[in-house]
Amino acid sequence: MAFFKQHIVRLRLAPSKAMAIFKRYIIRLALSKAMKRRAQEPVPRSGEEGKRVNSFSVALRHPEIDGFSVLIDALTPHGAQGLYLSGEKHEMPCCISNVHFSECKLFASRFYGRYTFEYHSAVALIVSESIRRPFFAVASDRLSQLSFNLRTPVRFERMQLLKSAVEHYLEIKTSSALIHKGDEATRSMTSSYFLMRIHGMQMYQHPQFKQHDDKMKLYLRSLVVSGDMFEDQQRQFRIKPQAIQTIAKFEQENRRHRTQVTQTWLLVIFTGLLAFFGAAPYWVKIKALVCCLAKLGHAYWLRALQYCC
């Protein structure tokens, strides 16, 4: 009886052991791919060096132990070597055996040029690298950027900027993440931020970004002159309460203008209908006169042709 109980326990443990072995194999496979391009600290993220970056930064973390994080430096036959998180930095050298891989979760950052791809599992890293997701994602983004650079950015109006500033103020003011920073932090905006908000992040890589940024500053300073915004010493712009009144007045005048345009078009259409139906009784006489003139002209050209011959 004890023999059968022992084998039943082994059968129950077999699936969990197989899953642990499979998980260790997946994590080790992901680490082997990442360690071929291990990132050197610090990773350059700008300039020409940033464009040439093609590396990984991989860490193993325990999902149930807070603060347990090991930045992997090398893969060994029996496990992995790395730096354990001590305080806020990975400074303490340590090792993790293959047996403990199944208890950890892999987190990786893929630095591809100036782009960064985050992976929160070993499977995600393996699949992404197998299908070359970073390469195609960057190629697609560069094609999109090229298409954006060939287009002339749409011109914007002062009221559009003022409305965008008010929307930004309300969004940040209602955000629980920045409430503790006070009113001054929520109101500050730069000209580059306005360009990003209107045209998107691609505007930062536009070849004429400096010219558009200077033009944006002129628009914003015109709002400063009108009293709707304020520019501080850091060249950041903040809205004033008067901006709400300015927007309301503009919308009221805009509605009035649209109403006038609609009334003008209705008057033109009504006048045209009156003229059409008023001239209806004379259409027969007008048609006969046109036919007569056409016949006279035809006869004249025939006589002229005969004379020339």
Using one digit for the tens of pLDDT, what is the confidence trace for 114-125? Answer: 788 899 999 999
The pLDDT of 72-98, averaged and rounded, is: 87
pLDDT on residue 26? 92
Q: How far apart are the first and last CA of the chain?
A: 131
Map out the domains of the chain with their CATH numbers: 14-135 (no CATH), 158-243 (1.10.10)
pLDDT on residue 306? 53
* CA 66 to chain CA centroid, nearest Å: 33
Q: Categorize the per-residue pLDDT at 190 as very low, low, confident or very high, splitting at 50, 70 and 90.
A: confident
Sheet strands (E) in the chain? 54-61, 69-76, 79-86, 89-97, 105-112, 115-119, 229-231, 237-239
Q: Categorize the per-residue pLDDT at 290 as very low, low, confident or very high, splitting at 50, 70 and 90.
A: low
pLDDT at 169 over 80: no
pLDDT on residue 182? 46
pLDDT at 179 over 60: no
pLDDT at 6 over 50: no
pLDDT at 147 over 80: no
pLDDT on residue 10? 39
pLDDT on residue 62? 85
Q: Categorize the per-residue pLDDT at 12 as very low, low, confident or very high, splitting at 50, 70 and 90.
A: very low
pLDDT on residue 288? 66
pLDDT at 137 over 60: yes
Q: What is the pTM (predicted TM-score) of this model? A: 0.52
pLDDT in tens, 243-283: 778 888 878 888 888 888 888 888 888 888 887 777 666 66
Do 70 and 79 form a contact (C-beta atoms < 8 A)?
A: no
The pLDDT of 200-217, averaged and rounded, is: 76
pLDDT at 11 over 70: no
DSSP classification of residue 205: G
Averaged pLDDT of the chain:
76
Burial of 256 from C-beta contacts in 10 A (0-12 / 13-18 / 19+): exposed
Q: Which residue's entry shows tokens 């929160």?
A: 120
Burial of 60 from C-beta contacts in 10 A (0-12 / 13-18 / 19+): buried
pLDDT at 197 over 70: yes
The top-scoring range by mean pLDDT among 79-83, 140-144, 297-301 is: 79-83
Instruction: Report percent pLDDT > 70 for the chain.
Output: 76
pLDDT at 72 over 70: yes
Do 80 and 99 form a contact (C-beta atoms < 8 A)?
A: no
pLDDT at 189 over 80: no
The pLDDT of 53-58, averaged and rounded, is: 89
pLDDT at 80 over 80: yes
Burial of 268 from C-beta contacts in 10 A (0-12 / 13-18 / 19+): exposed
pLDDT on residue 126? 92
